[in-house]
Amino acid sequence: MKHFFNRRETIVTEALDGLLRTIGAGDLARLDGYPEVKVVLRAGWDKSKVSVVSGGGAGHEPSHAGFVGKGMLTAAVSGEIFASPSVEAVLAAIRAVTGPAGCLLIVKNYTGDRLNFGLAAEKARAEGFRVEMVIVADDIALPDIAQPRGVAGTLFVHKISGHLSEAGHDLASIAAAARAAAKDIVSLGMSLSSCSIPGQPHEDRFGADDGELGLGIHGEPGVERIVVQSANRLVAIMAERLAVRLDPKASYALLINNLGSVPPLEMSVIANAVLASPLAKAIKLTIGPGPLMTALNMNGFSLSLIRLDAARETALLAPVGPYAWMPAKPVVAPDVVPMAKAAGQSAARKPSQHAGTRRLIVTVGERLISLEGVLNGLDAKAGDGDTGSTVATGARSILERLDTLPLADPAAALGAIGDILSASMGGSSGVLLSIFFTAAAQAVDGGADVPKALLAGLERMTFYGGAKPGDRTMVDALEPALKALDSDGLGDAAIAARRGAEATAAMEKAKAGRSAYVGAKLQGVTDPGAHAVAEVFAAAASLLVTA
């Protein structure tokens, strides 16, 4: 696994300095003492208030330093990757931010954190500081274990405690609220891959179709293997486990946490699945989805819920300073607004018949459908091999709607074809052809004859699409054909289109369209779009012979 870093020994200190250099304000600072003491704290902290200190191993970013700021943590103490900070580092943080009001330590339930934060608390008390410690054990993956792990639900405790501190509550009441909150949090995680640590060999323990349910935030194995399946089903499995731990009469806040490398698109799918599940009935507020307590680059997510009361709801909704916190939001259903319909189009687009126009559309459409394989083959040499399928799809869509088209009205017919192609063809080709026919329809409406209107459509298509003759696209056949059509008629247009298409085979590289991104030399291969245009004009010209 590849990583961006300089030296394993300095990755954490460099990352913390990167945070401090990019927050855009002097709200945060760090204690001197790098690299042994890695503490980020609020600059200018008012020690008349209770300080709230948390931390743990690095690798969980933005936790914990990303949550230092007004309304949340007063200081965060970092260890090395997945390693608890030292007793000396925790004690240094307590000394730096604690005044007569005292200090609350918030600790995730891992042995190293409990011991190091605990000893630091004892030493601080011996120095005369008032210190309380709250241990968060929110993971329900191991239901029979005496000491559950602390995972992303810890952030609820950070937010509630920070809010109460900012509001001026005393140490006893903040500690009591934090302990009560910790008891009312449940979390469960799932991942499709293990994480990799910079500078260390990585061997993924997962099979091609395996996931793990109930894993921690340090890359430790999950409680059970699970077959990869739809997001809805995976979320349903987690929701079932979480639901049995909830009070059916209570309402909850939900934190949807990205463990590191799940794309935002997939995190939104997960969020939708949770809020469409039976679990949603209990959820009043959501936080996320987003990376809040990660496990380096783990491809997984976790769900955390806290039972709400009025005080907790107020605390979770209160604005804060830290950039990384995602504000709690009430759950709402998607708002659907009806689409506006084009004015005056229905009357102009009434079906009508014209024998010549119908025969032209059928002849051209059938020719394009028959060329599906040929065009795909040409496209496969430079693109993704789907030009023939795309063109055939558009042709079939027009033929299927032939009886609904206003064939007797050229402007309306051109506009209707443009609408069909934009909806059915997809990709850039469908849009370009829709622009072509839509602009041509407008030109006919403005008094132009069909050949000049088609040239107007070409001008708009090349303006938006950016292609010009010589770029090895359909324009190389379409432009000479339309110019010949305007001056000399359909027979000469077909000849000009064929010559234009054949000329693309002598062009080494495409300068527009998808083929331009490939960079391959294409000499000897006719552009599939230009070939399709030549075949369209050939099919249309064949009607002159049979007429």
**Residues known to be catalytic:** 218
**Sign of the alpha-carbon dihedral angle for 151, 153, 157, 159:** positive
Q: Which of 506, 503, 484, 507 lies closest to 495 in space, CA to CA?
A: 484
Amino acid in the structure at residue 546: T
Work out the angle between the directed axes of helices 372-380 and 355-370 (0-180°, nearest 10).
50
Q: How far apart are CA 393 and CA 398, in angstroms?
A: 9
Q: Does residue 88 come out as left (phi exceeding 0), alpha (psi in the -120 to 50 range) or beta?
A: alpha
Q: Which of 391, 395, 375 lies closest to 383 in space, CA to CA?
A: 375
Residues in contact with 185: Cβ distance below 8 Å, sequence separation at least 6, in sequence order: 136, 138, 153, 156, 157, 304, 305, 306
Q: How far apart are CA 512 and CA 464, in angstroms?
A: 12
Query: CA dihedral in degrees (447, 450, 456, 458; nearest 10)?
Result: 170
Q: What's the Cα-to-Cα distance from 409 to each of 19, 341, 350, 354, 482, rounded to whole Å?
A: 64, 21, 9, 9, 21
- Could you tell me if 391 and 375 are in contact, meaning their C-beta atoms sit under 8 angstroms apart? yes
- Could you tell me if 391 and 377 are in contact, meaning their C-beta atoms sit under 8 angstroms apart? no
Q: Which residues sit opposite 541 in a β-bridge?
A: none
Q: What's the Cα-to-Cα distance from 170 to each of 43, 103, 173, 443, 538, rounded to whole Å?
A: 21, 10, 6, 76, 87
Q: How far apart are CA 538 and CA 533, in angstroms?
A: 9
Q: How far apart are CA 270 and CA 261, in angstroms?
A: 14
Q: How far apart are CA 118 and CA 269, in angstroms?
A: 40
Q: Is the bond preceding residue 410 a cis peptide, omega within 30 degrees? A: no
Q: How far apart are CA 70 and CA 256, in angstroms?
A: 23
Residues in contact with 348: Cβ distance below 8 Å, sequence separation at least 6, in sequence order: 406, 409, 411, 412, 415
The DSSP H or E segment spanning 283 is strand 283-290
Q: Is the bond preceding residue 35 a cis peptide, omega within 30 degrees? A: yes
